[in-house]
Structure 1
Amino acid sequence: MKRAVERSKLDRKTNVELVETMWEQFCNLGIYESNVIETTTYSIQEAVFAVKEKISSGAALLS
């Protein structure tokens, strides 16, 4: 949250509103929760690898 609200393109109030809106949209994914890849501690390369692996395995196909 701290990183998001401190982005310089928009003012702090707008950034907070955007983050809160995104949180509401993504906090409960329901049946799609298993497709989430937790990348908080990943490097960019690790995140890309994890996404490519999920796609190539077919584990994230929507039906």
Structure 2
Amino acid sequence: MTAGELIRHRREELGWSQARLAQAAGTGQALISRIEQGRVNPTVEMLTRLAEAMGAQINLTLSPR
């Protein structure tokens, strides 16, 4: 899954609209839409803000190919 798909999945689990998530994370709804569509690659800082707003955490891993 992409970062945007993970964000959308968690948001939908919570029953939140994009506007609700944007408000909770202190950003705009249009940015949430672009992230979920994969049109914008969010920074780690933005992913952290979104995760915290949704009561989740970010786990990044690097694995050998």
- Greater relative contact order (CA < 8 Å, ≥ 6 in sequence): 2
Which is higher, the Rg of structure 1 or of structure 2?
1
